[in-house]
């Protein structure tokens, strides 16, 4: 698989998981899934992870966030998704 395909698949997974979190299907602190899709590589400007679209601060703070904080990160990720992968 080439890099473009891998990243495209990652964006589709993120979009689906973001929609689930947005729908409120996960209400427990321990059930808000990590956005990590095991493609841990920062973009050229070191602004976002290419796999999960989180900033360095969001990556660093994830394990300390409460449910509301994790949902906020998911909202930010959803807003960063390419238009062709964002769920309706």
Tokens of 44: 């050229």
Q: What is the pLDDT at residue 85?
A: 65
Q: How far is CA 7 from CA 38, 48, 56, 57, 63, in A?
A: 11, 13, 18, 21, 24
What are the C-alpha distances in Å from 29 to residues 15, 19, 83?
Answer: 20, 17, 29
pLDDT, one tens digit per residue, over 61-80 is 999 999 899 999 999 999 99
Residues 64, 85: Cα–Cα separation, whole Å? 28
With contact defined as beta carbons under 8 Å apart, do 11 and 81 qualify?
yes
Position 28 scores a pLDDT of 59
**Which pTM was predicted?**
0.83
């Amino acid at each position: 698989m080439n890099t473009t395909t891998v990243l495209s698949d990652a964006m589709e997974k993120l979009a689906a998981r973001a929609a689930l979190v947005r729908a409120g299907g996960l209400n427990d602190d321990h059930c808000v899934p990590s956005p990590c899709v095991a493609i841990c590589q920062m973009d050229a400007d070191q602004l976002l992870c290419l796999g999960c679209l989180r900033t360095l601060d969001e990556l660093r703070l994830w394990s300390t966030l409460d449910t509301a904080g994790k949902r906020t990160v998911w909202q930010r990720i959803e807003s960063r998704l390419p238009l062709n992968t964002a769920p309706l």
